[in-house]
Amino acid sequence: MMKRIAVVFGTRPEAIKMCPLVLELKKHPDLFETQLIVTGQHKEMLYQVLDVFKLKPDYDLDIMKESQTLFSVTTSILEKIKAVFDRLQPDLILVHGDTTSSFAAALAGFYLKIPIGHVEAGLRTNDIYSPWPEEFNRQAVDIISALYFAPTEAAKQNLLNEGKPSSKIWITGNTGIDALKTTIQSGYKHEELDWVGSDRLILITAHRRENLGQPMHQMFRAIRRVLDENKDTKAIYPIHLNPAVRKAAHEELDGCESLHIIEPLDVLDFHNFMNACDLILTDSGGIQEEAPSLGKPVLVMRDTTERPEGIAAGTLKLVGTEEDAIYREFNRLLNDQEEYDAMSEASNPYGDGHASARIVDVIKTILS
């Protein structure tokens, strides 16, 4: 009998990592009816991704508000999603990772006793406040999941350490790498890359909730100091739409001539900017997974990471959020060729680009 699968996500990174899976599920219309529910936790940044993958949601809960809080995101999703689940009666709900959309959708599924499949299960820092609230979200989703799609061996081990049954855990690779395999283009061109010319290109992103305020100001100050001292270096910063991020960035970075703050790039452009750059400074999670595949060094402006594989591969370095530490590490990497070369080895700790197909194979067996 045909099984109904509800895929739920709400933010840019979830969309980038779940669209390849939705497309893979949709290759089997004889087996599954795949329904795409977006919470609308993000709006423009979510549809930028859906447009690239040419997917239209079946339901959009449309919950985003300017300067939304964890309370409003959680309660709006819980209030709106019940009616959709009641109507669809899914056999399986698939959520991704660690956002509040994932947590609230999984909680709603749990209340309705519908099985949850967790894509990108098992990532841990084991510090509940870092990243915040994501570490709670991912642990909470794993408590109520029936199927665990772990991207790596280490993620599987985290789940086993918590007593999750090994018969419900599959190592699949990360679906983000599936996306990356479809976006990189040889001969890619963009006017911002023309502006950089033969200078070195630094790509910057920042958005983490726990970095809002003082840490973010310190990050930006360090970046400005380094750019002022290294004249053959340019930076491009596609800025998150969060007004709090924008305010801090403009206060610290306006007038810096070697840095361009630009609107968020769609995923195709962003992946190609990553491919063209020399170095990335970020507090993002997904970028830590993509960069090793492309052999791009990343200074991670956070105190913890749930992506130890990239550190082990040598591509990622945790530099915290203190101004002087970021200044020192950033400057060093620009001026120490040996260190730079060591961090630029391409590797694939997060998979081979076939994670979605593996997940669909598991679901076929489980639901048949």
What are the residues whose beta carbons fall under 8 Å from the beta carbon of 272, sequence distance 6 or more?
A: 183, 184, 185, 188, 190
* Bridge partner list, 204: 281
321 binds, among ligand UDP, ligand UD1, none (CB under 5 to 8 A by kind): none
Which one, of 55, 56, 45, lies nearest residue 10 by Cα?
A: 45
Among 141, 155, 287, 301, binds ligand UDP (CB under 6 A): 287
133 contacts which partner out of ligand UDP, ligand UD1, none, CB within 5 to 8 A by kind?
ligand UD1
For residue 304, state whether it binds ligand UD1 (rule: CB under 6 A).
Answer: no
Cβ neighbour number for residue 120 with a 10 Å cutoff: 32
Using CB under 6 A as the binding rule, the residues of this chain from 77 to 116 that contact ligand UD1 are 98-100
Residue number, 227 or 274, with CB nearest to ligand UD1: 274
Contact between 176 and ligand UD1 per CB under 6 A: no
Q: By CB under 6 A, how many residues form the interface with ligand UDP?
A: 17
Q: How far is the CB of 366 from ligand UD1 (least distance, A)?
A: 27
Which amino acids are annotated catalytic? 98, 120, 134, 207, 209, 240
- The dihedrals phi and psi of 81, each to the nearest 5 degrees, come to -80, -20
Q: What is the DSSP string of 251-280?
A: HHHTT-TTEEEEPPPPHHHHHHHHHH-SEE
Q: Which does residue 181 touch among ligand UD1, ligand UDP, none (CB within 5 to 8 A, set by kind)?
A: none
**Binding residue for ligand UD1 (CB under 6 A) from 5, 9, 13, 88?**
13
Q: Does the protein bind ligand UDP through residue 238 (CB under 6 A)?
A: yes
Tell me which of 9, 47, 170, 270 binds ligand UDP, using CB under 6 A. Answer: 270
Question: Does residue number 40 form part of the binding site for ligand UDP (CB under 6 A)?
Answer: no
Are residues 39 and 63 in contact, defined by beta-carbon separation less than 8 angstroms? Answer: yes
Question: Which residue number, 23 or 31, has a Cβ lying nearer to ligand UDP?
Answer: 23
207 makes contact with ligand UDP (CB under 6 A): yes
Tokens, residue 41 = 């936790």
Cα-Cα-Cα-Cα dihedral of 288, 211, 103, 183, to 10°?
A: -30
Q: Which helix (H) or strand (E) holds 200?
A: strand 200-204
3-state secondary structure of 34: strand
Is-contact 178 20, C-beta < 8 A? yes
Binding site for ligand UD1 (CB under 6 A): 11-13, 41-46, 64-68, 70, 73, 98-100, 133-134, 207, 209, 241-243
Binding site for ligand UDP (CB under 6 A): 12-13, 16, 176, 205, 207, 238, 264-265, 267, 270-271, 284-287, 290
